[in-house]
Amino acid sequence: MEMEEYGLVADFLPKGRANERISEPVAQIVGEGHFTLLEVTIKQGVSLQLGQRIYSGRDARPEVERIRKRIDYNELTATARSELPHVVKQIIIAKEKDFVNFFNKAGPMSIRLHQLELLHGIGKKHLGQILDARDEKPFENFADIHARVPLLPDPAGIIVTRVMEELEGKPVHYLFVRPPSRHEE
């Protein structure tokens, strides 16, 4: 499994979790690559801000002592759950080119279903408009998508909604989030 190199802080518990024997600083982060939810131990004396980008890769980590585990949505703290949509949007905006490329490259999944239709608010009518617009010229950014498919709601917001659904474990098909493994608990 490919490791997340960077993550954004969804919650920081400087004294750790109340129900644990050992008190150590803990953060819940969202990986930039696949929106992987991770719980990490933070080095003593380090303070983090919500939304802060931190390195969680294999090399020397300035803030992270160790990666505790991959977690699922139900293991998030209340703060992390409320912060999650903001952190997800921050990642999507920072990687706008990748997500615009999804609109440019998405294809059919079956005879009846297109990948774009998995996004909230995109039905057959919007799908046709998007496909026609991208056939004329690939989309350059979210503003371009919105300008050329005017009745489509905020493209970044649509992706945030989909990522949140995937993080909550609701979909059958995953587009952006690494699906949970059956072997992980």
Using alpha carbons, select from 93, 92, 103, 109 the residue that is nearest to residue 174.
Answer: 109
Q: How many helices (H) and strands (E) does the chain have?
A: 5, 5
Q: What is the CATH number of the domain that holds 113?
A: 1.10.150.280
Indicate whether 136 belongs to any domain.
yes
Sign of the torsion angle spanned by Cα atoms 36, 89, 121, 144: negative
Task: Give the confidence band of 183 by pLDDT, cuts at 50, 70, 90.
Answer: very low
Average pLDDT over residues 23-37: 94
Q: Is residue 85 part of a domain?
A: no
Is 150 within a domain?
Answer: yes
Q: Flag whether 148 is in a domain.
A: yes
The total of structural domains in the chain comes to: 2
* Alpha helices (runs of H) in the chain, residue ranges in sequence order: 78-94, 96-105, 124-136, 142-148, 155-167
Q: Give the whole-number percent of the chain exceeding pLDDT 90.
A: 80
Residues 62 and 102 in one domain: no
80-84, 150-154, 179-183: segment of lowest average pLDDT: 179-183
Question: 100 and 66 in one domain?
Answer: no
C-alpha–C-alpha distance, residues 10 and 83, integer Å: 6
Q: Does 99 lie in the same domain as 69?
A: no
CA 22 to chain centre: 30
pLDDT band at 185 (very low <50, low <70, confident <90, very high): very low
Residues 110 and 159 in one domain: yes
Query: Within a domain: residue 153?
Result: yes
CATH of the domain at 31: 2.40.50.140
Integer Cα distance of 107 and 9 in angstroms:
33
For residue 1, name the pLDDT band (cuts at 50, 70, 90). Answer: low
| Structural domain range at position 19 | 6-73
Are residues 67 and 111 part of one domain?
A: no
- The DSSP secondary-structure symbol of 102 reads H
Spatial neighbors of 29 by CB under 8 A, at least 6 apart, are: 7, 8, 9, 10, 37, 38, 39, 40, 54, 56
Residue 69 domain-assigned? Answer: yes
Query: Is the pLDDT reported for residue 170 higher than 50?
Result: yes
pLDDT digits (tens, 9 = 90+) for 73-117: 999 999 999 999 999 999 999 999 999 999 999 999 998 999 999
Same domain, 99 and 69: no
- Is the whole model's pTM more than 0.85, yes or no? yes
Nearest residue to 148 via CA among 136, 157, 158, 160: 136
